[in-house]
Amino acid sequence: MKQKYRLMITWALVAVMLGMTLTGCSGNAKVAAGDLMKGITKNPVQLPQEMGGELNQALLDFTWKLFRESGADNGNVMISAPSVYLALGMALNGADGETREAMLKALSAQNIKLEDFNAGLSAWSNSLMDEKNKTDVRIANSIWIRNGFEAAPAFLQTNGDYYQAGIRSLDFADPSAPKIINQWVEEKTEGTIDKIIETMDDNLMMYLINAIYFKGDWQEPFKAGRTYAGTFSAPAGSVETPFMRRSGNMDYIQGQGATGVILPYTDERFAFVGILPEEGKSPRDFINTTTATDMLKLISSKKIKNVDLSLPKFESSYENELQDELNALGMAIAFDPSRADFSLMNKAHNKDLFIGGVKHKTYIKVDEKGTEAAAVTGVEVNTTSMPIDLTQVVFDRPFVYAIIDWQTNSPLFVGIMEDPTLR
Task: Quickly list DSSP for 239-287.
Answer: EEEEEEEEEEEEEEEEETTEEEEEEEBSSTTEEEEEEEEPTT--HHHHH
Nearest in space to 85 (alpha carbons), one of 206, 270, 210, 271: 210
379 against 303, higher pLDDT: 303
pTM of the model: 0.88
CB atoms within 10 A of CB 384: 8
Give the SS3 label for residue 227: coil
Helix axes 81-92, 153-163, angle to 10 degrees: 150
What type of residue is 191? G
Q: What mean pLDDT comes out for the span 34-47?
A: 68
CA distances from 210 to 54, 157, 213 (A): 23, 17, 10
pLDDT band, very low/low/confident/very high, at 54 (cuts 50, 70, 90): very high
**Equal CATH topology for 12-216+316-382 and 220-313+385-417:** no
Contact 358, 13 (CB under 8 A): yes
**Which pLDDT belongs to residue 162?**
95
Q: Is it the case that residue 93 has pLDDT exceeding 90?
A: yes
191 against 12, higher pLDDT: 191
Burial grade of 61 (CB within 10 A; 0-12, 13-18, 19 or more):
middle
Q: Please give the backbone phi and psi of residue 292, each rounded to the nearest 5 degrees, phi first.
A: -60, -40
CATH T-level fold of 12-216+316-382: Antithrombin; Chain I, domain 2 (3.30.497)
Give the number of residues written for the chain.
Answer: 423
Q: Which residue(s) pair with 405 in the sheet?
A: 270, 410
**Which pLDDT belongs to residue 133?**
87
Nearest in space to 248 (alpha carbons), one of 110, 389, 409: 389
Contact 211, 185 (CB under 8 A): yes
What CATH number is given for 220-313+385-417 in this structure? 2.30.39.10
Nearest in space to 207 (alpha carbons), one of 45, 9, 352, 16: 16
Pairing of strands 166-170, 136-146: parallel
pLDDT, averaged across the chain: 87
Q: Is it the case that residue 303 has pLDDT exceeding 80?
A: yes
**Which pLDDT belongs to residue 37?**
59
**Which pLDDT belongs to residue 55?**
96
DSSP letters, 358-386, are EEEEEEEEE-SSEEEEEEEEEEEEE----
pLDDT band, very low/low/confident/very high, at 197 (cuts 50, 70, 90): confident
134 against 106, higher pLDDT: 106
Contact 69, 3 (CB under 8 A): no
DSSP annotation of 220 reads S
44 against 200, higher pLDDT: 200
Q: What mean pLDDT comes out for the span 61-86?
A: 93
Distance, CA of 331 to chain centre? 18
Q: Looking at 38-42, 96-100, 137-141, which range is the least confident one? A: 38-42
pLDDT in tens, 3-38: 433 333 333 344 343 332 222 333 333 455 566 656
Q: Is it the case that residue 287 has pLDDT exceeding 60?
A: yes
Contact 362, 317 (CB under 8 A): yes
**Which pLDDT belongs to residue 30?**
46
Contact 419, 409 (CB under 8 A): no
Angle at 296 between CA 8 and CA 404, to 5 degrees: 30
**Which pLDDT belongs to residue 166?**
92
Q: Is it the case that residue 136 has pLDDT exceeding 70?
A: yes
How far the first Cα of the chain sits from its last, in Å, is 20
Distance CA 220, CA 234 (A): 28
Distance CA 193, CA 318 (A): 12
CB atoms within 10 A of CB 8: 25
Contact 421, 239 (CB under 8 A): yes
pLDDT in tens, 144-183: 999 989 999 999 999 999 999 999 999 988 998 889 988 9
**Which pLDDT belongs to residue 134?**
87
Q: Please give the backbone phi and psi of residue 141, each rounded to the nearest 5 degrees, phi first.
A: -130, 145
Computed from CA positions of residues 404, 409, 413, 417, in that sequence, does the dihedral angle turn out positive or negative? positive
Looking only at Cα atoms, what is the longest distance across the chain?
A: 74
The domain limits of the chain are 12-216+316-382, 220-313+385-417
Distance CA 266, CA 49 (A): 24
